[in-house]
Chain A
Amino acid sequence: MSVLSNGAALQSANQARAIEPSLAEAGDYFALMKPRVMSLVVFTAFVGMMVAPGQVHPVLGFASLLCIAVGAGAAGVLNMWYDADIDGVMGRTRQRPIPAGRVQPGEALAFGVALSVGAVAVLGLVAGWFTAALLAFTIFFYAVIYTIWLKRWTAQNIVIGGAAGALPPVIGWAAVTHDIGLAPILLFLIIFFWTPPHFWALSLRRCEEYRRAGVPMLPVVAGAAETKRHILGHALLLAPAGVTPFVFGFAGLTYGIVAAVAGAMMVMLALRLKLATTDADAHAASKRLFSFSLLYLFTLFAVLLVDHWLAQWPVGAAG
């Protein structure tokens, strides 16, 4: 069954349900916000905020982070609203609130728009309108450029769309400094180059589902071998990008060593995936790469944060 006919069936079912009182739990609205993605956004934005030069009042810092989290959640809601037809035909996403019929598409759209406007408005009042504009751009980029345009149009969807996921540390930095310097751009580049190998490692194992849903992910359009080549290429870009905060003097030697070792691991796992000869080996290798990529990003940002605190500590103690 095509995505279009699935979409029509979903729309028809939702119209029939529209006159039914809602069965949504509060948790369904939370699930629409993609909490797992939100947690990564909050963490990277927090690190961006902490390593930025200058001070921010804890209350304003907390409020800013909350706005960034809600803004990311709003983008997730709008993504789920638009992609409900795709979600309905993929096993991984079939039980999401909209395809499962617990939340109506109109409710999700209103929820997403309200959260977007609220998050941007409050962030503007708390951290300034430059920071708020960055958040608004991030939501727009994810919901419109990636979800509505790129995702169903090009195999490079997650390469370009990854920019939305890479912006949170820049927003966190801007919440403190009210501008953008080289350091947040380096953090942006790390997440930007990290996103494709991370998602392609997943999509290699979900290729059939993406094909059935009509989403032109790279493995669907170009095949597994080409995808593995692209994964290795991006891992080779990611490894040096990960070390740049040390190279440019924004992070210490500890960070530099950890980033170099972790980057080498990413390249090694990507190479193993490329050299896998059997389906079983490729499946295991892509799973390992996907899991390690999560650890990679968390480790780099966590070490960057600790490294920054350690560098500041003696100054604080002396003062």
Chain B
Amino acid sequence: MSVNGDGDDGIVLTAEQKRRRRARSVAIALVLGALVLLFYAVTLVKVGSGALMRPM
């Protein structure tokens, strides 16, 4: 990968570094997905019944 066209390729990841970065990215995606589900469920519990029983 050349950034400025002067032949400086910067940091080139090895196959092992790419594999580990991918594993970390997958783990972050899974954690974020789980958090979305958790916040959704907590929101439903906290405000769900209250929202339904609001006086019109």
Contact = CB atoms under 8 A, between A and B. Distances in A.
A63 interface: yes
A21 B42 contact: no
Interface string B35-56: 0001001101110000000000
Contacts of A63: 38, 41-42
Q: How large is the interface on A (under 10, 10 to 19, 20 to 34, 35 or more residues)?
A: 10 to 19
Nearest to A21: B17
A110 interface: no
B21 A21 contact: yes
B42 A126 contact: yes
Interface range, B side? 10 to 19
A25 B45 CA distance: 35
B23 A26 contact: yes
B38 A66 contact: yes
A26 B45 contact: no
Given A57-B45, A59-B42, A66-B38, A25 B13 contact: no
A24 interface: yes
B42 A60 contact: yes
Q: Is the interface of A mostly helix, strand, loop or mixed?
A: helix
A66 B13 CA distance: 35
A22 interface: yes
Contacts of B11: 21
B39 to A, nearest CB: 8
A25 B42 contact: no
Interface string A53-68: 0000101100100100
Contacts of B23: 25-26
A23 B45 contact: no
Nearest to B19: A25
A92 to B, nearest CB: 25
B45 A60 contact: yes
Interface in B1-49: 11, 13, 16-17, 20-21, 23-24, 26-27, 38, 41-42, 44-46
Interface in A1-47: 21-26, 29
B41 A25 contact: no
B17 A23 contact: yes
Nearest to A66: B38
Interface string A111-135: 0000000000000011000000000
A280 B17 CA distance: 46
Interface in A160-197: none
28 contacts: A21-B11, A21-B13, A22-B20, A22-B21, A23-B16, A23-B17, A23-B20, A24-B20, A24-B24, A25-B23, A25-B24, A26-B23, A26-B24, A26-B26, A26-B27, A29-B24, A29-B27, A57-B45, A59-B41, A59-B44, A59-B45, A60-B42, A60-B45, A63-B38, A63-B42, A125-B42, A126-B42, A126-B46
Given A22-B24, A59-B45, A125-B42, 4 more contacts: A21-B21, A22-B20, A23-B20, A25-B20
